[in-house]
Each structure stands twice: as structure tokens, then as C-alpha cells.
Copies of this chain bind each other. A is one copy, B any other.
Amino acid sequence: MSQQFKKQLKEKSVDISEWYNDVVLKAELADYAPVKGCMVIRPYGYALWEAVQDYMNPLIKAKGIKNAYFPMFIPMSYLQKEKEHVKGFAPELAVVTVGGGEKLTEELAVRPTSETIMYEMYKNWTQSWRDLPVLMNQWCNIIRWEKRTYLFLRTTEFLWQEGHCAHLTQEENMEMVLWAMDMYKKTYKNLMALYGVAGVKSNSEKFAGGKKTYTFECLMPNGKSLQACTSHDLGQNFSKSIDWYVQDESGQKVNPYQNSWGFSTRSIGGLILAHGDDNGLVLPPSIAPIQVVIVPIPGHELAENLAQKVSDSLKKLYRVELDSDSTQTAGFKFNKWELKGVPIRLEIGNREAEKNQVVVFRRDSGVKETVPVDDLGRYIGQILENMQRTLYESHKKFTQENTHVVDSYDEFKKIMDTTRGFLSAHWCEDADCEATIKAETKATTRCLPLDSKEEQGKCIRCGKASTHRWLFGLSY
């Protein structure tokens, strides 16, 4: 990057929080909105969310789950039916008290999640086992009040998909809970090149009103853990709270077993944090709105002609942008597209054009190579494929290297004071002990990993018997 430009961008290695805000704003992914806690998702950032939708929708539909849309306004009385649920969400609610110029007789919550409104409708639509399963999903906006905005990571309004299914048996229900986790894992890997650990939340960290929460935890470069998405086994908690029964095949009344699972724009925050560097964003090829940017040196006529030809041919294969703006220098453009994380840049001057070749710059490694035009299509395909894999492998390696198996509380505290990361430690599963660990170290239980093996041990803090290592970390 030119010195001038470089100075303008904060350095990731110096202060990742400042770097993060700076990159999100300068790469024009998002901006602060006038309302506290809210954000504007600009086109370049929204294209990332569209890529998530395009990847996930076919998987959701292939599973037989159908998209629908439920109202954003939820009567307060609905939220109150599941006691734990309302306790968990009440502090975060935005409340509509006036509608059409009149004070409302019943105040309306703006949805912080849609369990309560959806299941009242499901109840109306089902009488017998023949009407199950109910398999629905919606893409929508969600409101959970926040005083401070962390762009993408924590905002009052965010976008997500929420899947809500109801089944006759707990077996079917659990199959769906885990199917969702698997779909999310695929999305993170294949689209965002992010590795993570799937596991079960502790009781104090689970979804308000649910039975069990499954989470996918991604480790960020600063050693903090991002809860990247969740899938909830709701059991019969909600169906019981609204007296929802169906008749099973033998004529018995059964409360349906339910699950809900969500993946939000928060994921984009993880994507930015994990892969970016001092020069800005690094976007994995699968999700990059622009995979290849072509920059002919301004004023080089031969180069400009070749750039147009190359662009026309590559557009059939990849998402390509030809930047032939004559008012900016080549150097300025190089910096701009690096900042925006475009995986591959093609540089073409007259010298290259005369030899019918281009310079190929790879964003993640910074490597430049000169490649004949005739070989370009195939060559770019290889780099994109390699870059997607390399970014994932590198994030996986980082996570594994920063996962510490810890057996002493002193060591636990020392790690939390320095590098942080994932701490794999025995815990007695007592909520008070969990709270003490948090108070003393800031570490929270992230999850009991799905692949955690039974192992006799002693709680890292209190020394009581424990059968499994839990993953601890500092929450984002």
C-alpha cells in the first residue's frame, strides 16, 4: 500500500478493535445509523449476506423446510407464556405503545425472536400427527436493544434466518437440531472459510425457554470466542406453555417437540476479524462479491484493450470487475481493492499487453506472478480453489494452536490474562462454580464439544469430580 493510504488504515496487529471498525467503514461494508445501536448495511456488505442466503436456501429447501413470513409485532401476552423466555428477553425489548395515533390497549414487542408468535399459529394449523412435522424458516429483521454498536457483531437490529420445526417425537426433533448445526458448519467452511467447534451450552448460557442449546464457537485472532450461530432443542417447553396438542396415531394427545435455529449477520463480523490483515479485508473466494478485479494502468491504451478482452472472457467463469476509471492512479486502485479484500487482482500495463500476459496478484499471500492470457481462466480457478482451502486450514490451525488443555486454575488464569484462546478444562457443571470462574477470570463456558470424550477429572476451580472437559473462553 502507498504510505499515505497505509497510515490512514489502523493496523490489525496493534489494536484489532480499532482496525475492525476502520475496515468495516472504509471498505464500505456498513455504517453507523442515526439511531443508537443500529447500523446500515451498505451494498458491499449486503452482498455478503445475499451470498449466505444463496448458499443456505437450497440446503434448507432440500430438507423440505419452507420459507414463510410471520409478523414482526408480538403481543406482550404471547411472550409471557413461557416464563423463562420472557425473563431472558424482556431487558432487550423495543416496545410499540402507539399505533395509528392511538395508545394501544396491549403493548407490542418488536420480535427479539419468533418462537411465541409462530407456535400459536402452528397450534391453529395442526390437529393430528398427520399435520406434523411443521417445517418452516424465515429470513427477517430482529430487534434486541443494545446501547453500544459493534458493527455486525452486536447491533440493536440485525438480519437472520430462523428455522422453526415441530415434530411428533424427540428423535425426529433431535435429528433436525443436529442437521441445522451441520448445515451451519458447512456454510462457515465452504462459504466463509471459518473453522469452529460445535457443542452444547451450559444451562446458564442456553436459550431462554429452551431445553438444550447447541452452538458453533469460532475463535477470533484476539483470543475471544464468537458464538457464531445456535440450534435449540426446545423439547416440549413451548408447546406445553400454550397447551398445544396433536393426536398421535393411537389417539393420544401429545405436545409436539420443537427446535429453532438461527444464523445472523453477526457471522459477517467473524469473517472480517478472522481473515483480514493490515491492508484490509481478505474475502474467501466463495463469498467474495468480486472474485477478480482487473486494473489496466490508466493511459496504457494497449493494456486497456486487453483488459476489456480478458474481462469479457473471465466474466463467463467468475465474478469479475473491470476498473477502468481514469481519474484514479493505479496505486490508489491497488490499495482500494486490497482494502476491499478482492481475492485476485490482475494488473495490466502496455508491457504486459505486448506479450499477451498479465500480472496476477493474490490477496492472502501477497504473491505476484506473470501469467499468459491464454492460461488465465484455468490458473485463476486454481488460485481461488487453493485460497478458499488455505484460508480455512489456516483458521483451523490457528484455533487448534490456541486451544489449551489446562489442568491448573493458576495456568487457566494466566492464559486468560495473556493470550486467551480456547481453554479445555474440567468443570463440575455447577452454576455457582461457573459464575465464580467468570467473576475471577472473565472466562465463560463456551460449550461441551460434541466430540468431547468421557474422562475422569477434577473441576479446574473447586476440585469436585468431573466427567468431561468443557471449552472455556472470553465471549465476544
**A interface residues with partner B (beta carbon < 8 Å):** 31, 33-35, 38-43, 46-47, 49-50, 66-75, 78, 90-101, 107-108, 110, 117, 120-121, 124-125, 130, 136, 140-141, 143, 145-147, 156-157, 159, 327
Contacts and interface: CB of A to CB of B under 8 A. Distances in A.
14 contacts: A33-B71, A33-B121, A34-B117, A42-B68, A43-B136, A49-B69, A69-B159, A72-B141, A72-B157, A93-B99, A94-B100, A97-B97, A97-B98, A130-B327
B35 A71 contact: yes
Contact of A40 (B38, B50, B94, B121): B121
B91 A94 contact: no
Given A33-B70, A47-B66, 16 more contacts: A34-B78, A35-B108, A42-B68, A46-B68, A50-B67, A72-B157, A91-B101, A92-B100, A93-B100, A93-B101, A94-B96, A95-B99, A96-B97, A97-B97, A98-B107, A100-B147
A132 to B, nearest CB: 14
A43 B66 contact: yes
Number of copies: 2
B130 A31 contact: no
A415 B130 CA distance: 51
A154 to B, nearest CB: 13
B91 A73 contact: no
Contacts of A39: 71
A46 B67 contact: yes
Contacts of A38: 71, 73
Contacts of A147: 100
A40 B42 CA distance: 29
A118 to B, nearest CB: 8
A94 B99 contact: yes
A157 B73 contact: yes
A133 B409 CA distance: 60
Contact of A157 (B71, B97, B146): B71
Nearest to A50: B67
B108 A98 contact: no
Contacts of A95: 96-99
A142 to B, nearest CB: 10
Contacts of A141: 72, 140-141
A226 to B, nearest CB: 21
A26 to B, nearest CB: 12
A332 to B, nearest CB: 13
Given A35-B75, A71-B35, A73-B38, A100 B108 contact: no
Contacts of A43: 66-68, 136
Contacts of A71: 33, 35, 38-40, 157
A40 B67 contact: no
B33 A117 contact: yes
A116 to B, nearest CB: 10
A170 B142 CA distance: 37
Contacts of A40: 68-71, 121
Nearest to A120: B34
Contacts of A41: 68-70
